Amino acid sequence: MVTKEYLMGNEAMGRGAVEAGVKVVAGYPGTPASEVLEYVSTYPDVKAEWCINEKVALEITTGASLCRTRAMAVMKHNGTNVVLDFLMHLNYTGVRGGLVLISGDDPSGISSQNEEDSRIITHLDAHLPVFDPWCPQEAKDMVKTAFELSEETELCFVVRPVTRVCHARNQVTLEEVTAATGKEPFFEDDRSRFIMSALQEPKAGGALRPVVRHKWLNEKQPELSQIMEKSPFNHVEEGEGNIGIVACGIGYAFVKEAEKILGKKFPILKLGTLPLPRDKVLKFARQMTKLVVYEDSEAVVEGMLKQLLYDEGLQVKIVGRSGFLPREGELSTTVVLKSLATLYPELEKRIPETKPLEMKVPIRTRTQCVGCQYRGLLHALKLMARKTHGIVAGDIGCYDAGSFPPLELQSTIYCMGSSIPMATGIQYSGTKQPVFAIIGDSTFFHNGVLGLFNAIHNRVDMVAVVCDNRTTAMTGFQPHPGSNTDVHGKPAIAIDVARLAIAAGATSAQVVNPYDIPAVTKALKKAVSEKGVSVIVASMPCYLLARRTGDIGFTPRKVSLEPDLCNGCKICVTYFGCPAIHFSDGKATIDQATCVECGMCVYVCKRGAIT
């Protein structure tokens, strides 16, 4: 009997790996891909681990693969940037046990600092085979197939789902789970592969090893192309006309949806693999006068098609994300419909009419949760930065909301761990303004700690604030090296940030309670006056998490606001911004239904109106 289960795309991919007998799964949390590892961790036979960062995760899984064990690394596209250095060696060495890398892309940057197409890194740069699923079921099938093919070809396979595949929920077919034990683990030396160094290879006429292994990788490509030719993830659908629709990954979902709405069948070449199935592509292209390529999010397949058809001397116009379609943002049914209407004007009238509501709807910016300890920290730091004309370099995590209105605290936010090095550079510019860096604990361990070591070693004058809530709160409370439990909730060794900083040579490492605004202010004052790197660890478990266990970091106190004492200075909204504080008609009020009684606002109001 076929069993089906309603699963999220991420869970479906996790299930695919478990069915394939994966034994080691490692990753770093990141939307849209976090739930893959969380799902796998529910299977006791699988060694699942949240790692310090993505590069470490890929290195761990590669180590396992070399012992003939099936392994998988999971990350979002930013993480794939982080693994690039290792990936550019892993592609030369190849693997033993099936190795799969899941790289979740987030077109439109719905939950990201940027939008990026990781097919470029993994395929165009590393020349690894990539699967691009269009739905949860295919994502699962692709993961499973990737393990088989990875062992067959000795290459790491990449599965690149986009957010709408990762987060989609659908009935997915379940198959039997293969025992994770699989082959007996065995490491057999092969230094010609696993020692990546510029060594002359006698067997290759003295050629250097990097060249020999590069050749090995290049010679794999025709074999891969042959495999993709037979792959069920690529197919052709008959349709009217001679404009061919090339639908890649999630693009297929939107194209099929558009077909339904327009009531017209197009000739479709559905693609889910890189490299491309060369013969299938050429056969399709020969019947067409034009090809329209729908893909998220860069013109990757479009470019590859142009190259292939040019080499074949085939004159077919090819358009897509290089300009015919929007070059930025995620694909949608609307994008597909509008573009098809430019090719078939008679279809325009079949596009459902939408009328915007005739009113301005306010935007909703993300902010710290009501009760979040970091609101106190951000408030104190904002006042200190204002007083000292300080510059604050920020980092990735919940506390990044301090950079949005109303606080507008952090002046820079780039990628994981860039706060301390950027603060260093700002200080090196010769500015007389004090520099601050603010970084979360998970981000600190991810690679922020390197920037700290660099700043300490080079005697930089700065204040580095580490927001230590013992969890990766932004992505759903995954543990990190500062947490005392692992993904299974089992005890783990928590690395103490303050002790680490002192051991490294920081001038000071003050541990403060972020709810205690006067204490944070005092610590900041001391830190600003010091030479060298002064570290402040704002330490308190995440309120949302602590609330579940009843172990919150404050004694609840019901606060009230005396309207007569409120002079409308707005410090409580502009420099604190708690959603439970409202302001109207020149006075602040407390929304008791929203308030969680953390009591921080009592210290914020300089008039003593809040008690």
Partner 1 sequence: MNLNILIAGVGGQGNLFASSILSEYFINKGFEVLAVETIGAAQRGGSVVSHLRVSDSEIYSPLIPAGQVDILLGFEIIEMLRNFELLRADGSYLLNNYKEPTVLCNMELDTYPSDESIMAALQKSGKKGYTIKATECARQIGGSLLTNVVMVGALCQLSPLFDSQEVRQVLARKSPSKVREQNLKAFETGGSLISKATGQS
List of residues contacting partner 1 (CB under 8 A): 6, 31-32, 110-112, 135, 164-165, 167-171, 252-254, 256-257, 260-261, 332-334, 337, 351-370, 398, 401, 405-406, 474-475, 570, 573-574, 577, 579, 581-584, 593
Task: Give the Cβ contact number of residue 498 at 10 Å.
Answer: 18
CA distance 64 to 26: 11
Q: Smallest distance from the beta carbon of 235 to partner 1, in angstroms?
A: 15
Q: Which is nearer to partner 1, 168 or 305 (CB)?
A: 168
- Smaller CB separation from partner 1, 47 or 570: 570
- Please state the closest distance from residue 476 (CB atom) to partner 1, in A: 8
Nearest approach, Cβ of residue 328 and partner 1 (Å)? 18
Closest separation in Å from C-beta 450 to partner 1: 26
* Closest to 549 measured CA to CA, from 560, 541, 557: 541
Distances (CA, A) of 284 to 226, 242, 271, 288, 548: 17, 10, 12, 7, 57
Minimum CB distance to partner 1 smaller for 576 or for 603: 576
Q: Using alpha carbons only, what angle is made at residue 95 by residues 91 and 100, rounded to the nearest 5 degrees?
A: 80
* Least Cβ distance, residue 354 to partner 1 (angstroms): 4
Place of tokens 């006042």: 383
Please state the closest distance from residue 60 (CB atom) to partner 1, in A.
Answer: 25
Q: Give the integer Cα–Cα distance in Å for 425 and 259.
A: 53
Query: Cβ closer to partner 1: 333 or 454?
Result: 333
Q: Kindly tell me which of 218 and 365 has the beta carbon lying closer to partner 1.
A: 365
- When the beta carbons of 119 and 256 are compared against partner 1, the nearer one is 256
What are residue 173's DSSP bridge partners?
Answer: 4
| Helix (H) or strand (E) segment spanning residue 218 | helix 209-229
| Residue with tokens 């005396």, as numbered in its chain | 562
The minimum distance between CB 443 and partner 1, in angstroms, equals: 15
Least distance to partner 1 from the beta carbon of 405, Å?
6
Listed residue (456, 443, 445, 438) closest to 520, CA to CA: 438
Give the distance, in angstroms, between the CA of residue 315 and the centroid of all CA atoms in the same chain.
39
Query: Whose Cβ is closer to partner 1: residue 40's or residue 165's?
Result: 165
d(CA 35, CA 109): 18
CA-only gyration radius of the chain, Å: 27
Least separation, in Å, of the C-beta of 256 and partner 1?
4
Nearest to partner 1 of 50, 157 (CB atom): 50
Reduce the DSSP state of residue 583 to 3 states and report it.
strand
Shortest spacing between CB 111 and partner 1, in angstroms: 3
Alpha helix positions (H), 345-405: 374-388
Task: Report residue 44 as tokens.
Answer: 């006791």
Nearer to partner 1, 169 or 191 (CB): 169
Distance of alpha carbon 521 from its chain centroid, rounded? 33
Using CA atoms, how far apart are residues 601 and 170, in angstroms rounded to an integer? 45
CA distances, 364 to each of 324, 368, 584 (Å): 32, 13, 18
Q: What is the dihedral of CA 312, 317, 321, 327, to 10 degrees?
A: 130
Structure tokens at 185: 């683990």
435 DSSP β-pair partners: 391
Q: Cβ–Cβ contacts within 10 Å for residue 555, how many?
A: 9
Q: Closest CB to partner 1 among 97 and 371?
A: 371
**Based on CB atoms, which residue is closest to partner 1, 171 or 287?**
171
